[in-house]
Amino acid sequence: MGLAVSLATAPPAPGREEDALTALAELVRDDLAACNRVIVANMQSQVDLIPQLAAHLVAAGGKRLRPILTLACARLCGYPEPGSPGQRHVALAACVEFIHTATLLHDDVVDESRLRRGLATANAIFGNKASVLVGDFLFSRSFQLMTADGSLPVLKILSEAAATIAEGEVLQLVTQNDLSTKDERYLDVIQGKTAALFAAACQIGAVVAGRKAAEEAALSDFGLYLGTAFQLVDDALDYAADQAKLGKTVGDDFREGKITGPVLAAYKAGNEADRSFWRRTIEDSEQTDADLDHALILMERTGAIEATLARAKGFAEKAKAALLIFPDGPVRRKLTDVADYTVRRVR
């Protein structure tokens, strides 16, 4: 007890950063519980395999980061007004999570991943076919829920985001194994596959509250920058994290020959021997068991991880700055903390 109190007033200490998301979730606790109920209710189907597979991913795990953002941004914008029964943000947060879940299911098929959040992937358990089709189902359900909400501006934002995600994923596929990929293309990939949905999730918080365009744009920017920072860190973690802590396999990106920030940075900063190593392992996909360890050494030596994290920090700062058009208060502060947390979740 005494320890908890002293920590609460102390400057951020290792481990405390993780509390930022928990604190934000706590702030929207009732809404998040309602959102979870909407999610569970809408993944039902007479075809048993659908809720079985969906439950594995939707109900079991996940930080619910994206729906929490929708709920918190709605709250930041004063929705619902005190005493009002408005629950639109809850249903739309579920839509966002369904789109995210559908893309996860398809990603894991595309990446042939076997492990996510420390658990076997849906495709590893239920097979690729079921994962593709249940992803399609959740995606469709998401649009059914949006249609029931009835806001064309929301439908526009989320259907555009969904198309952008798919474009980002295809672009990632196209740049795979290609060390000549321009850095801007890599940014296009992560803004497409990850940040676009963060942006949409935040923006619709302002839309349900009926806020003006500048506030919509500010929240969209916040989400875009936050999502970019998030993915940069994720890409760094793939070469740096403790596998048990991260709940995913370190070196997945390396084995797949994925072109990420750390690889581009290490390649650019490397000497001729380094570059030859990267060409063999990433471009030619010729890897031995010892290569991942050597890749990690090169990452350290060239400062590629640090550079990627510094870049993520820059985006987190931009995310925080975008919030400044809103008055100070507990929601803005906790959203700001989440931006800090995003770039501190490593080391």
Q: Which of 165, 246, 312, 335 binds a copy of itself (CB under 8 A)?
A: 165
CB of residue 220 vs a copy of itself: minimum separation in angstroms?
17
Q: Which is nearer to a copy of itself, 165 or 307 (CB)?
A: 165
CB of 73 closer than 8 Å to CB of 202: yes
Q: Which of 124, 170, 296, 325 binds a copy of itself (CB under 8 A)?
A: 170
DSSP per-residue letters across 160-202: HHHHHHHHHHHHHHHHTT-TT--HHHHHHHHIIIIIHHHHHHH
Distance between CA atoms of 121 and 70, rounded to whole angstroms?
A: 26
Q: Which of 40, 124, 167, 321 binds a copy of itself (CB under 8 A)?
A: 167
- Choose one: 2-10, 104-112, 285-293, 315-323; the region binding a copy of itself (CB under 8 A): 104-112
Q: Which of 59, 173, 297, 324 binds a copy of itself (CB under 8 A)?
A: 173
Q: Could you report how far apart the first and last alpha carbons of the chain are, in Å?
A: 26
Q: Which of 36, 101, 103, 220 binds a copy of itself (CB under 8 A)?
A: 103
Binding mask 114-143 for a copy of itself (x = CB under 8 A): --------------xxx-xxx-xx-xxx-x
CB of residue 188 vs a copy of itself: minimum separation in angstroms?
8
Nearest to 107 by CA among 82, 139, 70: 139
Q: Which of 166, 292, 296, 321 binds a copy of itself (CB under 8 A)?
A: 166
Indicate whether 184 belongs to the interface with a copy of itself (CB under 8 A): no
Indicate whether 183 belongs to the interface with a copy of itself (CB under 8 A): no
What kind and span of H or E run contains 217?
Answer: helix 213-237
Exposure class string for 167-206: b at 16+ Cβ within 10 A, else e: ebbebbeebbbebebeeebbbbbbbbbbbbbbbbbbbbbb
CB of residue 124 vs a copy of itself: minimum separation in angstroms?
16
Nearest to 74 by CA among 217, 173, 219: 219
Q: What values do phi and psi take at 176, rounded to 5?
A: -55, 140
Distance between CA atoms of 26 and 259, rounded to whole angstroms?
A: 36
- Choose one: 12-20, 154-162, 271-279, 338-346; the region binding a copy of itself (CB under 8 A): 154-162
Indicate whether 177 belongs to the interface with a copy of itself (CB under 8 A): no
Indicate whether 174 belongs to the interface with a copy of itself (CB under 8 A): yes
| DSSP SS3 for 120 | strand
CB of residue 47 vs a copy of itself: minimum separation in angstroms?
5
| Structure-token match 């196209």, residue found | 174
CB of residue 190 vs a copy of itself: minimum separation in angstroms?
14
Distance between CA atoms of 305 and 307, rounded to whole angstroms?
A: 5
CB of residue 285 vs a copy of itself: minimum separation in angstroms?
15
Q: Which is nearer to a copy of itself, 134 or 246 (CB)?
A: 134
Compute the radius of gyration of the chain from its Cα atoms: 20
- Interface contacts to a copy of itself, rule CB under 8 A: 45-50, 102-103, 106, 109-110, 128-130, 132-134, 136-137, 139-141, 143-144, 146-148, 150, 152, 155-156, 159-160, 162-163, 165-167, 169-171, 173-174
